[in-house]
Copies of this chain bind each other. A is one copy, B any other.
Amino acid sequence: MDVQRLELLRELADRGSVTAVAAATHRTPSAVSQQLKVLEREAGLPLTQRQGRGLVLTDAGRALARSATDVAVSLAKATALWDEFRNQASGEVSLVTFPTAGQMLLPGVITSLGPDLVLNCADEDPELSDFPAFTAEYDIVLAHSMSGALSWAGRGLTVVPLMTEPLDVGLPVGHPLADRAWVRPSDLIGETWIGVTDGYPFERILHAIEQEAGARLSMSQRFADLALIESFVIAGLGIALVPRYTSGGGQPGRLVLKPLRGVESERQIVALMRPDRAERLAVRTVIQSLQSEAARVQHSQAPQ
C-alpha cells in the first residue's frame, strides 16, 4: 500500500481531473494515470469511473481518499514534530485572502515572521470564486462568512476562526445620525444606500434590516470595492454597511461608523486549510500569528 498513490487519489478527489492533479504535482497526466491504475489493481476494485471525458471517483474511491487524508495528516504531524526538534518553523507558506482581511492582518503578520519563513500572499475577489476550492492551491485561505452560516463545515477542511468583525453603518460627517451612540433598523429606512454587488454577504444583513424595519431600503448604487463605497459615503451620496476594522483607511476622520443594533451585523473571518497542511509547523506558526494579529486589531480599534 503506497502512500504516494493514495496521495494522488486524494488530489484527484480534491481537483477532479487527472490533468489538474498532474499539474499540481509536477507530473505528466500519463504518470498520474498509471499510478492510479496500479492503485486500482492493488485495491482490487474500481476506484474511478469515466464520466464524459473526465474522471470521477466511485464510492470506494471517495472512501479511500478520505482515509488518505488521515494518512497525510499523520505524516504532516510527523514532519512538524521533527521541525520542532530542528530549526524553528521554516519554508514557504502560501495564502490567499479577500482584500479587506489582507489589508487588516497581513502587514502585521509578515513583519512578525522570522526570516526563515516566507509567506506568499495573493488576493482573490471573495464572491467570484469558490473559496474552499482554493485550499487545493494555497496552504491558508482567509475567508469570511456571515455569522451562523458556517458554509465550510463538513467538507473535511480545517477551520480556524480568526475574528468576528462587526459591520457598522458608515455615515458622512455631519449626518443627522452621526451623534448617536448606535442606530437601529428603523432609523435607516429613509436613507439612500450605497449597496454591494449582488450576492455579496452584506446583502443578507441589508435584507434583515428591511425585514426588521418593515420597509424597503432605497439602493442607489451597487459596488464591489469597499474604498469606492466609502468615497461615496464621504461625499454624502448615501450611507453604507462597512466592516468596522477595515474602513476609513484612506481618509480617516471623514467617515463615521455607528454600531447597528436590532439585527445581527457581523462577519466571521476564518482561515481554511486542508487538514494535512494545517499540521505543518510553518503553517501553524502563520496561523498563530494571524490569530494574535486579529486580537490586536480587535483590541486597538474601537468604534468611533
**Chain A residues at the B interface, C-beta cutoff of 8 Å:** 1, 3, 6, 43-45, 60, 63-64, 67-68, 70-71, 73-75, 77-79, 81-82, 85-87
Q: Is the interface of A mostly helix, strand, loop or mixed?
A: helix
Given contacts A43-B82, A86-B45, contact A70 B60 (CB under 8 A): no
Q: CB-nearest residue of chain B relative to A45?
A: B86
**CA of A77 to CA of B70 in the docked complex: distance in angstroms?**
9
Q: By the criterion CB–CB under 8 Å, are A70 and B64 in contact?
A: no
Residues of chain B lying within 8 A (CB to CB) of residue A44: 86-87
Counting every copy of the chain, the complex holds 2
Q: Which residues of B contact A60 (CB under 8 A)?
A: 82, 85
Name, among A45, A75, A86, the residue most crowded by chain B CB atoms within 10 Å (CB to CB).
A75
| Interface contact B63-A67, CB-CB below 8 Å | no
List the B residue with the shortest CB-CB distance to A76.
B1
B1, B74, B85, B86: the one contacting A73 at CB < 8 Å is B74
Inside 8 A of A85's CB, which chain B residues have their CB? 43, 45, 60, 63
Question: A78, B86: Cβ atoms under 8 Å?
Answer: no
Provide the residues of chain B in CB contact with A45, threshold 8 Å.
82, 85-86
Q: What would 18 A/B residue contacts be, using CB atoms closer than 8 Å?
A: A1-B79, A3-B75, A6-B78, A43-B82, A44-B86, A45-B85, A45-B86, A60-B82, A60-B85, A64-B82, A67-B77, A67-B78, A67-B81, A68-B78, A70-B77, A70-B78, A71-B74, A71-B78
Q: Would you give the shortest CB distance from A248 to chain B, in whole angstroms? A: 47
Distance to closest chain B CB from A49 (angstroms): 15
Residues of B within 8 A of A71 (CB): 71, 74-75, 78
For A60, A63, A85, A87, the residue with the greatest tally of chain B CB atoms inside 10 Å of its CB is A85
The 4 A-B pairs of least Cβ separation, nearest first, read A67-B78, A70-B74, A74-B74, A71-B74
* A43 contacts across to B, CB distance below 8 A: 82, 85-86
Q: How far is the CA of A3 from the CA of B6 in the complex (A)?
A: 12
